Structure 1
C-alpha cells in the first residue's frame, strides 16, 4: 500500500519543517513539498505534528514473577503500545538458570510469534555467565541480540555478583554489546526487609521504605565503576532518584560511557501515593516511587542529557488475584505497573506542554535515542528516506 501524508509538521530529534511524506509499503521513499505521486491513501496532516513511531526499550510481556506472570501477552501489550503511538518495543527474554542464553531467546520468540501488532526486539536477562557464555553472547549478537541485562537485586533469583557482572561487561565491551543494569544493593535491601517483616511492617508502603535511594545510588556507582574497569559502556535501567542520577552525571562528566533511562512513574508519581492501605499495592514496582523532589531533578536530567531515554518498564499485574498474592506481606506483591500505552501522551503533556523539554527533545527521548542505543537508527527513530 502506498500512503501520502500531506502538509504535516515533520519533527525529528534535530529537524522541524512542513513537508509531504510518501510511504511505499512500510518504508519512507520520498519527502518533499507538494509531492505529485499516486497513493492508495492520502492523509491531510495540516496543522498536525508528524513524528517517528515511539520506541519503548523496556517492557516485560508474559514475564514470570512471584508465582504469576505479567498480565499482558504480546498481543494485548503491543496493541496497547500501538494505541499510544509506540511502534517498536524491546522486551526482556530471560535465561533460565541452568539453561543456555539461546534457549531463553527462543522461548521468548515463541511467546511473541504471530501475536505482535508492532515491531519488537529482545534484550536478554542473563542469569549465568560461565565458561563458554562469551561465545554464546557473540553468537546472539550476530542474530541481533546486542544488549544483555544483569541484576544487582533479587538475591536467589536474578542477582549477579560483581565477578559475574565484570565478566559479562568485559565480554560485551569486546564485541560492541551493551550491558543493561538493574542497579540496587539487593543484599543490603534484603537485610532491611527482614527487619521490617520482623517488626510486623507488612503494608505496601514498606516496599518503598525498604529500598532507600542510597541503595540505588550505591548500585549505580558500583555498576559504573565495574564498567570502567571492564572497559565497557553501561546502561542503567529505570533510574528513579536524584542520588542515582548524580552518579551518572558525575561519570559522564568524567567521560565515562554511562547511559541511563527513566520512566513516567518516576516523573509524575511519588512515595505519598502508597498511602497506608492496600491500595498502595498498585504502585509496588522496583525501584519504588520516591520523594516528590526527585521528579523535578529527573526532568532536569532529561533536559540536560544526563538521562538519555524514557522507557516504561511496562509490567502490569491485576490488583485482584495477582497483586493480592501479597496481602499481609509486601514482599509477595508482584512488582510492576503498566505504561506502554500512555508514555507518549504523558511525556508530551508533562514535558513539552509544560515547557520542561522541547519538542525535538521529546522525540529524542521517546524514539531516537533508543534507536541509536540499540542499533535501529536510522531505520527507526527518525523520519528520513529509507526509514520505517
Structure 2
C-alpha cells in the first residue's frame, strides 16, 4: 500500500484472535489483503470504510474442509449448487469451502470428476479448494493424480465402506497412499469397516428393524474404530499422511492421537452434529433429519468426544455439508439402505461449534476458548490442507474476516437459513457465535444491513503439498511484539 493510497477498509477496535495470538487491534485491508494489524491504542487509519468492532471478536474467515456440493450418489443428487452453498457458507462465517470431485459411476474418472467441479465452482461466492476421489484403480490413475496435483488438488479421498458406490478396496487405498507420498499429498479417509456394517445391516433387515429409527444400531462404533486401525497400519506402512473425516467416537480419535504420538502424519476431523446431537434423535418426531453416516452416538460417547475436542485431540471441525431435502429423506425412511445420508450444515458450523466449546471449556470470552475455536474453525484446516493466505488475521493474508459477539445467542430456524433445503438438524436450538460481519477477500458480504451478494467472485485456491505447506504457510497467527504488540502470543 503506497503512502498516498487510502485503504479500502479498516476493522477497528476489535479483539483479534488467531490460533496462537490475541489482543485488541485495528485490521487494515486493501485490495483484498490484510496490509496491517495495528495496536488498538493507535489512531484508526483513514479508510474508504471503517467497521467499528468494539466489544466484538475478529477472527479469520472459516475454512470448511469437507463439503459436498451438487453431489450425485446413486440415484440421488444434492439440491444445491455452488451459488447456493457458497452464499450459505458466507452467511455462516465460512469464506473457503473444500468440495470433492467424486466419480458419479464407473464411467467417470477421478480427473473428470474434479474438472467438472472446477467448472461448476465458477459460480461460487466464496473461495473454493478441491479434493479428488478414487474408487477404482487402473493404469491411468497415477497420471491423473499427477495432473490433479499440478492443478493444486493435493488430496484424494477414499471410502472404506459403501460397497457398490464409492467404496475403494484395500489395494486401491494402499496405491492411493503411495501416490500421495510421491506427490506430497494427503489421503482423506472415510473409515468404517464395510464387512461389519453390511453384516449388521443385513441382520437388522432380516429382523425387520431397518427403518431410520434403527440407523444408529446398524453402524456400530466398533466398525469405525476397526477401520481406523486398518487404515493407520497402511499409512504407517506407506509413510502416507492421512486425514480421517467425521470421526464420531473417542476411540477413533484416540487411535489417531496415539499414531501421531509415534510419528505418523495423521489428523482427526469431527463434525458439529457429533458434538451437539446423540442417538436419542432417532426416537424423536423427525428421525429422518439425522440420517448420516456415521450416525449419532450414545450420550456417553458424545460427552467423551466433546472432552477430546475441547482438549485439542481433534484437529478440525467440518460440516460434511450434504444438501438433501425432506422429500428425498422421507422417500425411503423405511429402509436406510436406500435413503440418502448426509446433513446440511455449512451455514451452522460456526455457532454449533462455538456453543459446544463454550459448554465444554467455559466462558465465551475466555481466550483459551476463542483460540481453540479459531484453530479448529479456520487455522488448522488451512494449515493441514496447505491453503495459502488462509486461516489467520495476519499481514499478507487474504482479507477473510468474521466479526461476532460471543455473548449473542439466537435460535436456529430452518426457514431463516440459506442452504437450499427445508430443514436443519439443529432447528430450535439456542446457539451463540453467529457472525455479524463477514468479509471475503476484502468485500463486506454480511453486515447490519443484511447480505450483499458479491456475485461469482470466489476463486479456486491451488494448494501447497502437505509437507511443503509448513514452510510455505509458516507459523500461522504468530506475531512478535515488534510486529504487532496487541497480538503477541500470551
TM-score (norm 1): 0.95
Please say which of residues 166-175 and 128-137 is displaced more in the overlay.
128-137
Matched residue of 1:47: which SS? coil
Query: Is 1:83 equivalent to 2:91 in the alignment?
Result: yes
Partners in 2 of 1:295 and 1:374 — Cα distance?
27
**Aligned equivalent of 2:419:** none
Instruction: From 299, 305, 316, give the equivalent of 1:298.
Output: 305
Please say which of residues 73-82 and 210-219 is displaced more in the overlay.
73-82
Structure 1 residues 353 and 213: CA distance shift in structure 2, 3 A: closer
Give yes or no for contact 1:325–1:334 (8 Å, CA) kept in 2.
no
Please say which of residues 224-233 and 249-258 is displaced more in the overlay.
249-258
Give yes or no for contact 2:250–2:308 (8 Å, CA) kept in 1.
no
Give yes or no for contact 2:63–2:97 (8 Å, CA) kept in 1.
yes
Alignment of 1:162-201 (within 5 A): 162-201=170-209
TM-score (norm 2): 0.76
Shift of 1:110: 2.5
Shift of 1:156: 1.0
Q: Which blocks of at least 5 consecutive residues in structure 2 are unaligned?
A: 1-6, 363-367, 399-490
Matched residue of 1:331: which SS? coil
Give yes or no for contact 2:310–2:357 (8 Å, CA) kept in 1.
no
Instruction: From 18, 23, 27, give the equivalent of 2:29.
Output: 23
Give yes or no for contact 1:155–1:187 (8 Å, CA) kept in 2.
no
**Aligned equivalent of 2:397:** 387
Partners in 2 of 1:98 and 1:381 — Cα distance?
37
Partners in 2 of 1:297 and 1:272 — Cα distance?
16
Shift of 1:187: 2.3
Shift of 1:328: 2.3
> CA RMSD of the aligned region, Å?
1.6
Shift of 1:353: 5.7
Partners in 2 of 1:18 and 1:39 — Cα distance?
19
Give yes or no for contact 2:212–2:291 (8 Å, CA) kept in 1.
yes
Number of equivalenced pairs: 384
Matched residue of 2:321: which SS? coil
Deviations 1:52-79 (A, max 9, x none): 0011000111111342211222111111
Query: Is 1:252 equivalent to 2:263 in the alignment?
Result: no
Give yes or no for contact 2:201–2:210 (8 Å, CA) kept in 1.
no
Structure 1 residues 243 and 205: CA distance shift in structure 2, 3 A: farther
Q: Which blocks of at least 5 consecutive residues in structure 1 are unaligned?
A: none
Deviations 1:288-319 (A, max 9, x none): 10011122222222233321000010112111
Give yes or no for contact 2:86–2:125 (8 Å, CA) kept in 1.
yes
Query: Is 1:287 equivalent to 2:298 in the alignment?
Result: no
Instruction: From 371, 376, 380, give the equivalent of 1:369.
Output: 380
Partners in 2 of 1:238 and 1:301 — Cα distance?
14
